[in-house]
Structure 1
């Protein structure tokens, strides 16, 4: 009888698929590993949240773990996972050395979500009113930590082709350590398409995004102060509905119904509100990764207008689901045209469906991903031997982080 292999996922937070694209991405990965026959345990040091998904119906075991505590060593040794998936590099920093020490034969996989050093370097360049260059990522302090984490892991899952190329060319990361795995979606069938609301059945503009994410807050400010006044002047009866989880007081204060600018907060059903909107506006001025809000727009048959950063790595060689521009006037004129011209709108909608079906259909990736994991597990000693810098970093990190963590643990025990 074949022994069931265990996958341990260590989460930065508990998955909230209705709050962020990262939550949805995590559920997609859970499904992939379950299809490969893994029993899954999801552990996190995060507090429970009101909006976290219930893992029990998904046949995923939930475990709370503590930072800087040797109780994790006992837990992971008893679990003895075949594969450990770290949710973002900060989690690998905290727990990677403990996994390496207690379960040396476990395959260590990092899900990057997006490149933090890229996002933060772009954000810094924007706030300093200068043009971003790729070399800015090298100067970003977090890059040293993030790249070290990628090197220590056996494989890093990348959601963006642009970011994969950046890692290979700018940071000289070996291609064998990286694997392109974007959102894994169900293709949009003709039957699903026919159920979508028509052009005439839809009204108004929408923005949607988690407000704990700085690029989203900045985009809403940009809409309120610059884009929406221009658009409202041309379409005086139009409304913009802004949805997003965790809105702060400064977000709520932007609510101006008389100006057609409505702050709605968390959407109970994101699909419903996006399907009922005619256009998604996403003027993102910095960021990284693949934008969940724009994928969601395509799935809902809702054309979008975004920036080059918003659309980065999303469409391949296919035409966009609307318009892509960094110019304010073009952005506004494109929004007005898309809102009023049914032919242009329908073409944009069809473009979005083509992008989903041709670039994100999970059937394209499932078998290859399963094969990649299996091959790596079968050849792990040689794979690690080929990754000398990873072994070097693992050696020094294990030593330095281990003693820092032990010191914190001892300090905490004295308080108790």
Structure 2
């Protein structure tokens, strides 16, 4: 049996985060292919995690070397570039024949570029991309044998703008296995909903935007309420709660399916970010139309009609939110669009065969694959001669501190 080792930044929380859903989909993909799977992490977020085989590891500790050698993986999957920085060189030293795959989740340098522009109230410029995260993340992509890209926009950004060789990239979005028609009709639903974990800054900014425009929606729909769900909500989030205004902060969500099957419209005026938006993908699956921004819908529907509306101005966002809430014909039209998007953009069968063909091709030609990725070899060399020795120095320092 082949063995996959995942080095996770955090333990997957599919009920709370899109990243958690993404990771569990990849785990399922490898499980279906017959892989034994071990999940290694420094994280402690056990309470809301899935039941998976978890091994605790430490940064800057040579106990990892023995652990990875004993596991002897065929493939090592890094969860975001940070884990590759921390443990990639140790994997290369101790398991040089293991195929190294990076799941980017989304491009963090793109999110940072957009965050900076948002804070400064301007458009993103080319030089915003070349930030410190860009240098680290691209280096990590180059050091790995294959990087998984969740967004077609990000795939094009890497290959066209930054000239990353497509041989070391694979586009694989959220995966939908089957779609069921909406079970809860328009007339049996009520209220608006917003969803997103508050460890993620764009979700907090989304809620602030909703707070600022909600009174204009409520003016036309005085019986409607907006319910805010999200894990890791701090006091500043609950301070926005106002029952008189119909702005209700609910906190951590339970079953996403149960929640999405009772509301009429999802509101997601996402101001910045990257990757794909899990809440919008799920709204399609559960028959919940939405109103979102251009950033929210980015790379999620090709050129197909959206399952609701995409609006960036406050005025139009408010107008379309009210229309979608009141007009059954428009609401049903949006729902029909959702199922077409799921079938044409996110269908699992469209990606699985090509994914395994790519993995097997690299596995069977690993030496040449790495030789042709000469920039990756250069960066690997420098990582081994910089990060490695810094980590070794920290190890020794920690030992001395314990003895003292």
Give the TM bin, normalised by the shorter chain: over 0.9
User: In the alignment, which residue of structure 1 is the partner of 2:177?
Assistant: 186
How far is the alpha carbon of 1:253 from its aligned partner? 0.4
User: In the alignment, which residue of structure 1 is the partner of 2:371?
Assistant: 385
Equivalent position to 1:204, from 183, 191, 211: 191
The secondary structure found in structure 2 opposite 1:258 is coil
**Partner Cα distance (2:46, 2:121) in 1:** 37
How far is the alpha carbon of 1:187 from its aligned partner? 2.1
Aligned positions of 1:79-98 closer than 5 A = 79-98=71-90
Structure 2 residue 35 is the aligned partner of structure 1 residue 44: no
**Partner Cα distance (1:255, 1:89) in 2:** 36
**Partner Cα distance (2:37, 2:108) in 1:** 27
Return the TM-score normalized by structure 1. 0.95
Structure 2 residue 107 is the aligned partner of structure 1 residue 115: yes
User: In the alignment, which residue of structure 2 is the partner of 1:99?
Assistant: 91
How far is the alpha carbon of 1:133 from its aligned partner? 2.5
**Partner Cα distance (2:193, 2:5) in 1:** 38
- Structure 1 segments of 4+ aligned residues over 3 angstroms from their partners: none
Q: Deviations over 1:226-283 (max 9, x none)?
A: x211111111111000000110110010000100100000111111111111000000
How far is the alpha carbon of 1:15 from its aligned partner? 0.7
**Partner Cα distance (2:155, 2:301) in 1:** 16
**Partner Cα distance (2:301, 2:381) in 1:** 40
Equivalent position to 2:8, from 6, 11, 19: 11
**Partner Cα distance (1:135, 1:159) in 2:** 23
How far is the alpha carbon of 1:80 from its aligned partner? 1.1
How far is the alpha carbon of 1:186 from its aligned partner? 1.6
Runs of 5+ unmatched residues, structure 2: none
Structure 2 residue 116 is the aligned partner of structure 1 residue 124: yes
Is contact 1:284-1:310 (8 Å) kept?
A: yes
How far is the alpha carbon of 1:50 from its aligned partner? 1.3
Is contact 1:86-1:111 (8 Å) kept?
A: yes
**Partner Cα distance (1:258, 1:269) in 2:** 26
**Partner Cα distance (2:13, 2:231) in 1:** 10
Residues 1:271 and 1:134: Cα distance change in structure 2 (over 3 Å): farther
**Partner Cα distance (2:194, 2:127) in 1:** 31
**Partner Cα distance (1:178, 1:133) in 2:** 25
The secondary structure found in structure 1 opposite 2:51 is coil
**Partner Cα distance (1:218, 1:22) in 2:** 19
User: In the alignment, which residue of structure 1 is the partner of 2:29?
Assistant: 32
User: In the alignment, which residue of structure 1 is the partner of 2:304?
Assistant: 318
**Partner Cα distance (2:42, 2:254) in 1:** 27
The secondary structure found in structure 2 opposite 1:193 is coil
**Partner Cα distance (1:398, 1:340) in 2:** 60
**Partner Cα distance (2:162, 2:236) in 1:** 38
How far is the alpha carbon of 1:370 from its aligned partner? 1.3
User: In the alignment, which residue of structure 1 is the partner of 2:143?
Assistant: 152
The secondary structure found in structure 1 opposite 2:181 is helix
Q: Deviations over 1:23-75 (max 9, x none)?
A: 111111011111222111111011143111111xxxxx321111100000011
Count of aligned pairs: 402
**Partner Cα distance (1:161, 1:344) in 2:** 28
How far is the alpha carbon of 1:170 from its aligned partner? 2.3
User: In the alignment, which residue of structure 2 is the partner of 1:223?
Assistant: 210
User: In the alignment, which residue of structure 1 is the partner of 2:335?
Assistant: 349
**Partner Cα distance (2:106, 2:211) in 1:** 27
The secondary structure found in structure 2 opposite 1:276 is coil
**Partner Cα distance (1:48, 1:64) in 2:** 11
Q: Deviations over 1:292-332 (max 9, x none)?
A: 00001101100000000000000012100000010111000
Structure 2 residue 62 is the aligned partner of structure 1 residue 70: yes
The secondary structure found in structure 2 opposite 1:182 is coil
Equivalent position to 1:414, from 377, 400, 403: 400
**Partner Cα distance (1:17, 1:236) in 2:** 34
User: In the alignment, which residue of structure 1 is the partner of 2:156?
Assistant: 165
User: In the alignment, which residue of structure 2 is the partner of 1:58?
Assistant: none
**Partner Cα distance (2:342, 2:284) in 1:** 7
Is contact 1:36-1:370 (8 Å) kept?
A: no
Structure 2 residue 201 is the aligned partner of structure 1 residue 214: yes
**Partner Cα distance (2:325, 2:165) in 1:** 46
